[in-house]
Chain A
Amino acid sequence: MSKKQKQMVIRIVVAFIMLLLILAGEHTGWTDRIQPQMLVGLICLIPYEIIGYDILYKAARNIRNGQIFDENFLMMIATFGAFGVGEYSEAVAVMLFYQVGELFQGYAVGKSRQSISDMMDICPEYANIEEEGVLTQVDPDDVELGTVIVIMPGERIPLDGVVIEGESMIDTAALTGESVPRRVIPGDTIISGCVNGSGTLKVRTTKEFDDSTVARILELVENASAKKAPVENFITRFAKYYTPVVTIGAVILAFVPPIAGALTGVGSFGSLLGIWLYRACTFLVISCPCALVISVPLGFFGGIGAASRIGVLIKGSNYLEAVAEVDTIVFDKTGTLTKGEFKVTEVLPISMSEEKLLEVAALGEGYSTHPIAASIREAYGSALDMERVTNTEEISGHGIHTWIDGKEVYLGNAKLIESLQIPFTKSDRAGTVVYVASEGRFVGTIVIADTVKNGAKEALSAMKRVGVKKTVMLTGDRKEAAVAVAEQLGIDEVHYELLPADKVSKVEQLLETQAEKSKLAFVGDGINDAPVLTRADVGIAMGSMGSDAAIEAADIVLMDDDVRKIASVVGISRKTLGIVKQNIVFALAVKALVLLLGATGYANMWAAVFADVGVSVLAILNSMRTLRVNKK
């Protein structure tokens, strides 16, 4: 609690005790004996002043500044009105209740802001630089690119870099939500914001602080609240009209019925004015839209905070709202659903052992830098004796022609073997197929394919469970490879052999067939994806593997590349929107009800204060629920 809030508590306690005494006096009839009654009003002014002087001061000051319709002014008018009609103790009580509500509201907002910023507490305070054997702490902002920094056990990693000395386990939970620590050895890259485990690391920085992961994440999250969701904009517009309308309503309520009553002879103008003035005052108390103005952005902010806790960055409330309506998710294949690493998945020899075929292929591809060649060599595993290989030549677009142990060997695609007029059986396997021919005979095939990511299948079924209707996969890959992955994962629609530009037009086609209110999300790892990410309603990019351009273009970033998180984000988004809608409906319903009851004389000012600050506090507490995440 701040100093200001503590002072307020004292004022509330003092005013409350005085109010209790006055109420006791009224109850026993003791105050009735005070003559004239005006004196009671004067006595009541003491606790009123104690509890409400700052409201009166602010109201006066704001009128001078031309801010008429603010809550201080409305409270002042409402309580003055109560004094005017002789409800002295009620005026004090209303002001007191209002201040209690304000205090609680300020406290709740402060607390939730605190818990959100705690969650965002990934900003490193210092970096250690070793100079002549002495460690000095410097501001991460001042560390130049390529400097060697020392990270002690338990410290937060201040800048992105490459480990050059030491081994450790690092805790990436703050960034990715992943609870299992990651092991790092020299040569590994580490990202800022993570916490170092038990080993001391020496790291050469690869980025300046402003470009480092932690600075970029903080920037994204801080700017997120600037991009407002349609619901938020609606509330802002609503708030602008709500207060003046209710205030004008109050003025009409105060004067029209008494005038009408006096003209029709129902009663005297004076006596009617007393009743209707009181009712108008209840109107004024309810006229502040605070419950909505605070709780709606707070709800979105909490939702974004909750998502960041599981390692998902959402760049704005508008995207958080859009995710709830996603019913079509389009995936890029390589790097998103598959690992983007090529591995030998099958070795199919015809007349020799598998090892022998792999050895021939590895030797043949021994000089090649092609990724396919690398994966064959990796599958072979043992060291290669390249002296056995002579006269290797690459046949562009086809494969390799070489001599191994004096035998003529061809390695390559189907076109190569066809051109040699060697009889062979064409493979129907998914992936890239390398055909091997030795001494004019077809000896077997090696299949190289990208492997599906762990959890990709669960991710897709989880998405279906949360209400995604259609999943689509786009890839530049061959038909067989694409269809195999799609079948394995249970994807509804697949488009293959696409050029990067085709992906954009495919997404545009899908957008056109999209139902009015539903949204389309595109998930990509970022290589060539930036235009599609921008074009989709919601662009989701991979954070750790994706390119910087993709992260810039995306609306949502998955920090640990785990596609399973998409379903969780949809869940968070639905929950957040649910809470926001509950608050809007609840606040508007209570206010409308109390306005109605107030106008007909059934609700007193106490009910009005509840409809104002009480509802506000309840809505804030409800909004805080968005912060909570179910880890599983």
Chain B
Amino acid sequence: MKKKFKLQDLDCANCAAKMEEAIKKIDGVNDASVSFMMQKLTIDAADDRFEAIMDEVEKVCAKVEPDTKILR
């Protein structure tokens, strides 16, 4: 399943790249991209565990840049 999320207070391009890399490493994520310009996260992940994966995504993003919020 492919879904898009808006990101709030993502204000560092380097962090966006780090987040993208961290999200891609999560088990069950097929593909992910964090767009600094659009302030958006596009994620393609396994359907059955999507919510659990998103919780994980939130955790890794908080590690990279705690100010950024994923609007779910």
Contacts and interface: CB of A to CB of B under 8 A. Distances in A.
Contacts of A71: 12, 14
A547 interface: no
A289 B14 contact: yes
A113 B37 contact: yes
A293 B38 contact: no
Interface in B50-69: 62-64, 66
Contacts of A290: 12-14
A210 to B, nearest CB: 13
A290 B12 CA distance: 8
Contacts of B17: 236, 239, 293
A294 interface: yes
Contacts, number: 45
Interface residues of B, number: 18
Given A65-B63, A223-B42, A226-B42, A297 B14 contact: no
A239 B36 CA distance: 16
Contact of B38 (A67, A222, A288, A289): A222
B37 A225 contact: yes
Contact of A66 (B11, B33, B39, B63): B63
Interface in A110-160: 113, 116
A82 B39 CA distance: 36
B38 A225 contact: yes
Interface string B38-52: 111010000000000
A298 B63 contact: no
A297 B36 contact: yes
B37 A116 contact: yes
A627 to B, nearest CB: 12
Interface in A291-311: 293-294, 297-298, 301
Contacts of B62: 65
B35 A225 contact: yes
17 contacts: A61-B66, A65-B63, A65-B64, A66-B63, A67-B64, A71-B12, A222-B35, A223-B42, A226-B33, A236-B17, A239-B14, A288-B14, A290-B14, A293-B17, A294-B13, A297-B36, A301-B37
Interface of B: 11-14, 17-18, 33, 35-40, 42, 62-64, 66
Interface of A: 61, 65-67, 70-71, 106, 109, 113, 116, 222-223, 225-226, 236, 239, 288-290, 293-294, 297-298, 301
